[in-house]
């Protein structure tokens, strides 16, 4: 087992894991496309995707299932990359956008737009990004004391997350007559999502993941500790803020279309880290791919579990996330 882990943590091994996860994501997408009320063989599916014939099957595959599945892959990649960045910045594998409040900030802004300004729904993504970035700045300022300590950062984030969650609940309570349409958002769901949502966020997510890739070397240095990073010439506070902004952008883009989907940013980077280690040049793309696999697979399970109805992907993730979170707490020692 130790020899296998050592092989996976070589450059060739890490590249192999990334290629495997890419193939796994493609397989998850094809499997999700095949199954539903309309079941197709792989050859029939590929023929529809290639020839695009007119008819009901084409409409179901290309205009209902495909955009939803691609959106799930994008959302999973965004949340997992955001989680990996936050875990590196805070040097704590329990950090994630949903736990430290960034998702809650984007979610609060999204709920305000949907309930108070529905005519400005096209501003949902910018509003969610503004809310997430403002939350990240607030957490940063609250944690500041002659510099930012990662432990103070995550504790401040947990407190802010609880406060923003309470505000969101209060807004929903005072707008109960409109809250039905926001229920999916507060749970986390991909139901009724289509090409409109894909077109709204793909550029944000691609830009955020690209920015994260360019900052991966700096994240590797930052993860060594502030003193070591400063000694190596890294401008620690500026780099940390840039990384928090990228994490906020990715989390906000995901929240704006899928709602408050939890635990992806916690689970995906940690599982990948156990396999290939903490070199962020390889960890970030592997986390993005595995996050996409997780959301596509969980959404498929929710879509097929209770026909003709479905379970939101947020419920499936909420059932899987807490046991894993508790396992992390029991199997690792974290010191203040």
Residues counted in the chain: 336
CB contact set of 252 (below 8 Å; sequence gap of 6+): 102, 106, 125, 128, 129, 130, 131, 132, 133, 204
> What is the rounded distance in angstroms from the CA atom of residue 130 to the CA atom of residue 107?
11
Q: What is the pLDDT of residue 218?
A: 93
For range 265-270, the mean pLDDT: 89
Least confident of 22-26, 123-127, 132-136, 248-252: 123-127
User: Above 50 in pLDDT, residue 335?
Assistant: no
Q: What is the pLDDT of residue 80?
A: 96
**Sole residue written with tokens 């950090």:** 95
Helix (H, G, I), strand (E, B) or coil at 148: strand
Q: Could you tell me which residue, 306 or 60, shows the higher pLDDT?
A: 60
Question: What predicted TM-score, i.e. pTM, was given to this entire model?
Answer: 0.90
For range 164-170, the mean pLDDT: 86
For range 254-258, the mean pLDDT: 88
Q: How many domains does the structure of the chain reveal?
A: 1
Residue 315 in any domain: the answer is: yes
Angle 124-143/102-116 helices, nearest 10 degrees? 140
> pLDDT-based confidence at 290, cuts 50/70/90?
very high
CATH number at residue 218: 1.10.3470.10
Residue 336 in any domain: the answer is: no
Q: 188, 312 in Cβ contact below 8 A?
A: yes
pLDDT in tens, 75-90: 999 999 999 999 888 8
Segments forming the whole domain that contains residue 171: 2-331
Residue 131 in any domain: the answer is: yes
pLDDT in tens, 177-215: 666 667 777 788 898 888 988 998 999 999 999 999 999
Q: 93, 331 in Cβ contact below 8 A?
A: no
Residue 299 in any domain: the answer is: yes
For range 315-331, the mean pLDDT: 77
Q: 252, 133 in Cβ contact below 8 A?
A: yes
CB contact set of 255 (below 8 Å; sequence gap of 6+): 103, 106, 107, 110, 128, 132, 261
CB contact set of 10 (below 8 Å; sequence gap of 6+): none
Angle 11-34/42-51 helices, nearest 10 degrees? 90
Residue 321 in any domain: the answer is: yes
Strand partners, 58: none
**Sole residue written with tokens 């994240």:** 219
> pLDDT-based confidence at 336, cuts 50/70/90?
very low
CB contact set of 118 (below 8 Å; sequence gap of 6+): none
């Amino acid at each position: 087992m130790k020899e296998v882990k050592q092989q996976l943590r070589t450059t060739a091994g890490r590249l192999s894991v990334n290629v495997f996860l890419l193939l796994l994501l493609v397989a998850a997408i094809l499997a999700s496309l095949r199954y539903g009320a309309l079941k197709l063989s792989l050859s029939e599916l590929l023929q529809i995707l290639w020839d695009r014939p007119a008819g009901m099957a084409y409409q179901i595959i290309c205009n209902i299932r495909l955009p939803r599945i691609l959106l799930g892959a994008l959302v999973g990649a965004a949340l997992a990359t955001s989680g990996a960045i936050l875990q590196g910045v805070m040097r704590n594998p329990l950090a994630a956008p949903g736990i430290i409040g960034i998702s809650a900030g984007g979610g609060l802004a999204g709920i305000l737009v949907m309930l108070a300004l529905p005519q400005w729904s096209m501003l949902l993504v910018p509003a969610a990004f503004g809310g997430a970035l403002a939350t990240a700045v607030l957490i940063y300022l609250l944690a500041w004391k002659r510099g930012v300590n990662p432990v103070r950062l995550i504790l401040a984030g947990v407190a802010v997350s609880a406060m923003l969650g309470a505000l969101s609940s209060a807004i929903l309570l005072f707008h109960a007559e409109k809250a039905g349409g926001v229920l999916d958002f507060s749970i986390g769901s991909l139901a009724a999502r289509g090409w409109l949502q894909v077109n709204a966020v793909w550029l944000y997510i691609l830009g955020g993941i690209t920015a994260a890739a360019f900052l991966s070397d700096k994240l590797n240095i930052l993860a060594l500790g502030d003193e070591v990073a400063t000694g190596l010439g890294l401008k620690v506070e500026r780099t940390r803020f840039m990384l928090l902004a990228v994490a906020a952008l990715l989390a906000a883009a995901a929240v704006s279309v899928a709602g408050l989907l939890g635990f992806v940013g916690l689970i995906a980077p940690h599982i990948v880290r156990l396999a290939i280690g903490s070199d962020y040049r390889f960890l970030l793309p592997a986390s993005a791919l595995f996050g996409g696999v997780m959301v596509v697979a969980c959404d498929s399970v929710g879509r097929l579990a209770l026909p003709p109805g479905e379970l939101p992907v947020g419920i499936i993730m909420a059932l899987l996330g807490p046991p894993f979170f508790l396992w992390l707490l029991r199997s690792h020692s974290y010191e203040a």
